[in-house]
Amino acid sequence: MLAYDRRSFVNFTIQTEAQTWFDSKLLSQEQYGAICQNFPCHFYAPTLFIRVTLFLATLIAISAGSGLLSLFLPGFSGSFSFAIRFMVFGGAVYWLLEQVVIRQKSFFRAGVDDALLYYALGSMLGGIFLLLASAGLKLPTATYFLIPLPFLAWATIRFTDTLSTVVLFLCFMAFVFFIMLSLGTLGKTGLPFVVMGVSISLLLLSNRLLTRKDLDLWAPNLLILKSLSLATFYLGGNYLIVRELSIALLDTQLKPGADIPFAFLFYFLTVAIPIAFAFQGIRKRDAVFIRMALLALAFAIFTFKYYFVPASYELFLTIIGALMILAAIAIMNYLKQPVNGFTHKSLFRRRQESLDAEPS
């Protein structure tokens, strides 16, 4: 299922953690070297700068190579011919990625493998869409978001690619969105509740999968799924989003003093959801919930400012920003010492101090 060597992947994770401990002076040079020796990793994983450079260079090289190769292919014309070429190039690039770059060269998130993966996905999907267009098929809009799902799911599962996870989630939610639109007025009216229901289902799924030890290598992908699910759950119940979509999708003409259906429910959800996120984050000591609570709270403030606060944007945002900065400073000072399991202080630094305090 995993394209990379699993043992090297696990050892790479261990070495990365050991590097963090070594940088925090919790490990000596000898201890860090012993860990790297006992948990060998044969991956080539360069720094971020080199990764970006290799990514861009690979995209340029593969684009030039595919263009040059096209010159030697038979001179077919039309959408069908281009569709076949796209899919052939995509398949060839994917073979190069799996059999050469990963299996033989052991590249791991090195920029080259990222570029080849995205190029292969783009070429395959582009070829499929061109093929459908050349056949003259007029498919529902939702179908165009359904088609990429298996490709993106494969990239997520086999390569643990986080960008593919984000696009997979967005395509799935877009599929749900257009399916609801196709149901007419009833679907448009129920869209916010369906979005919230789908989001909470994905949240529960991600939470359950995060508890499985055999899926630890996919933890970053699952955390992204969890964060995006929380975001869409809140947006589905936010008054501003629901009101503006109601006007755009239902052609609702609101008279002065009038409001959308279930307005008080969405007023309540706009405020209650950030509070619920914060409560859950504090109760479970879950950083994802706490961060999303802060983002949702900021958007809730913007929502009520947009409709109900008569002051200028500049003054309002300045006051809110100053209050949030003061609150952050106060909380950071308060959490210098652990309080109910929460602390602002670096855990590595606290660990180092406790080690220094131990008698030798």
pLDDT in tens, 199-208: 999 999 999 9
Would you state the pLDDT for residue 186? 86
Q: Are 14 and 72 spatial neighbours (Cβ–Cβ below 8 Å)?
A: no
How would residue 345 be classed by pLDDT, with cut points 50, 70 and 90?
Answer: low
pLDDT in tens, 94-131: 999 999 999 999 999 999 999 999 999 999 999 999 99
**pLDDT reading at 340 higher than 70:** no
pTM of the predicted model as reported, rounded to 2 decimal places: 0.86
**pLDDT reading at 339 higher than 80:** no
Q: Are 191 and 180 spatial neighbours (Cβ–Cβ below 8 Å)?
A: yes
pLDDT in tens, 172-183: 999 999 999 998
Region of poorest pLDDT, from 47-56, 138-147, 248-257: 248-257
Q: Measure the CA–CA gap between 1 and 171, rounded to whole angstroms.
A: 23
**pLDDT reading at 297 higher than 80:** yes
**pLDDT reading at 349 higher than 60:** no
Q: Measure the CA–CA gap between 50 and 12, rounded to whole angstroms.
A: 18
Could you tell me which of 288, 183, 281, 313 has the C-alpha nearest to residue 228?
Answer: 288
The C-alpha angle 29, 33, 39, rounded to 5 degrees, equals: 150
Which of 283-286's residues contact partners 24+ apart within 8 Å by CB, and which partners? 285/341, 285/342
Structure tokens at 99: 């059999």
Q: Measure the CA–CA gap between 162 and 211, rounded to whole angstroms.
A: 19
